Amino acid sequence: MRDVATLRTSVRPPYAAYLRVYEPLAAFREPERSYWQGYAAARRGPAAVAGATALEEARRRLADLIAVPPVAVPEQESREAFVHEADGVVYLCPWRTRLRTWMALEELQELLPAPLLDAAVPARVRAQAEADWDRWRAQNPDGRPWILTETWNVPVRWFLLFGAEDREFEPGRWTDGADPDDQLGAAGANGPDEGAEEPAGGVKRRTAPVMRYRTSMAQARRRVARGYRVLRDTLDEGPMVAGVEEVGRWLEEFHPRSLVELDYGGLVDVIPEEGLAGDRSVEEVAEGIAALREGDGSRAGRSYRALTERWRRVQELQYAN
C-alpha cells in the first residue's frame, strides 16, 4: 500500500476535504485503460511518486488563476490521477480538474456577491466557461467526477460511508533535507506542532499529518443505504436526507470493486494533531444512526451536537485573519 504525504510548503493545499473513488484498471475502457496502465506503471517502484498530489493540482490551478486574464477553467482535461495499490491491484482516481472546476465555478457564483465575483473572475471569462460546460454536458451526459470537495468542513453524510476500522492517521514528522519549494521555514506556515521534537542539526522540514478513511465500495454502499433508510424513516425531508441520497446515487456510478476514500486534505493544517488523533466523527455518526434506529432521539441528538459543534469551530476559522 503506497501513498504520498503532502509536505508543508509555501503553496498551501486548499483548506478542503475530499471524497474520492478509486476504480480498478478494469473499470476503464480502451484506449483510456492502456493510458492509465502506463501512467500507473511509471509511478510504481521505490523511487517513483505514486500518482500526482493534491498540492500539485493546487499549484497548477493557482498559476491559471493569477494569469492575465485569469484562466477560470483549464482548456484541456487533466491527464493526471491519484494512484493507489493494494493487494496487488492498481486503482486510479482521475483528477478530472476541468469538470470539477466547472462545478466549483457554479457553486462560487451562488456564494459570492456579484462585485466580488467579477473581481475574481470577470463576467466574460465566466460566460465562456459556462458555454464550454454546456457543450461538454451535451456531449457527455453520463460524465461525473471521481472527487467531491468540501471547503473548511467534512459533510456529516460523508462519515456515514466509513467505519472506525477504516481510519488511517499518520502524525507529521521531521525529515532531513530542504524542500526546494519551501519558503516558510522548516516547520511550515503554522510552526511546529506543540510537543513535536525537531531533530538537531542540518536543514529540517516537517511533513503534514495524514488523516483519511478508506473502505470498499461494497461496504460504502451498504452503510449509506442503511443510513438512508433510518434517516428517511425517522426525519423529515430536508438537506440531511437529500444529501445522503445524493451520495448514494453518486457511488452507484462506479465499478463495484472500487475503493472509497475520505481525505481530510488541507484541513490537517488547521486542526491540531491531538485533535486529529482523537477525532471520532465516524463513530459519532454511527452512534447517532444507531440511536435513531432504536428510537432514542435524545442520544441521537447528543451525538449530532457533539459532531456539528466540533466542525463548526473548524468552519469558523475561515473568517480568522
Whether the full predicted model's pTM is greater than 0.85, yes or no, is: no
Tell me what the mean pLDDT of segment 146-152 comes to: 94
Query: CA-to-CA distance for 65 and 236, rounded, in angstroms?
Result: 42
pLDDT value, residue 124 = 87
Tens of pLDDT, residue by residue over 60-79, are: 666 665 566 666 788 889 89
**239 contacts: CB under 8 Å, gap ≥ 6:** none
pLDDT value, residue 92 = 95
pLDDT value, residue 199 = 53
Tens of pLDDT, residue by residue over 202-247, are: 567 778 899 999 999 999 999 999 999 999 999 988 899 999 999 9
| 79: three-class secondary structure by DSSP | coil
Query: CA-to-CA distance for 65 and 297, rounded, in angstroms?
Result: 47
Confidence of residue 54 (pLDDT cuts 50, 70, 90): low
Tell me what the mean pLDDT of segment 121-138 comes to: 89
Query: CA-to-CA distance for 82 and 77, rounded, in angstroms?
Result: 15
Tell me what the mean pLDDT of segment 94-123 comes to: 86
pLDDT value, residue 160 = 97
Q: Indicate if the pLDDT at residue 2 is higher than 60.
A: no
pLDDT value, residue 283 = 96
Q: Check the CA dihedral 98-20-229-234 and report its sign.
A: negative
Q: Indicate if the pLDDT at residue 11 is higher than 60.
A: no
Query: CA-to-CA distance for 177 and 145, rounded, in angstroms?
Result: 36
- Comparing 193 with 117, the larger pLDDT belongs to 117
User: What is the Cα 1 distance to its own chain's centre?
Assistant: 19
Question: How much is the mean pLDDT over the chain?
Answer: 83
- Comparing 267 with 59, the larger pLDDT belongs to 267
pLDDT value, residue 190 = 42
Query: CA-to-CA distance for 5 and 9, rounded, in angstroms?
Result: 12
pLDDT value, residue 153 = 93
Bridge partners of 176, per DSSP, are 204
Whole-angstrom CA distances from 286 to 279, 289, 312 are 14, 5, 19
Contact 91, 24 (CB under 8 A): yes
Confidence of residue 125 (pLDDT cuts 50, 70, 90): confident
pLDDT value, residue 105 = 87
Query: CA-to-CA distance for 167 and 163, rounded, in angstroms?
Result: 7
Q: Indicate if the pLDDT at residue 179 is higher than 70.
A: no
Contact 3, 214 (CB under 8 A): no
pLDDT value, residue 154 = 96
Tell me what the mean pLDDT of segment 87-114 comes to: 89
- Comparing 48 with 95, the larger pLDDT belongs to 95
Kindly report the number of other CB atoms within 10 A of residue 124's CB atom.
10
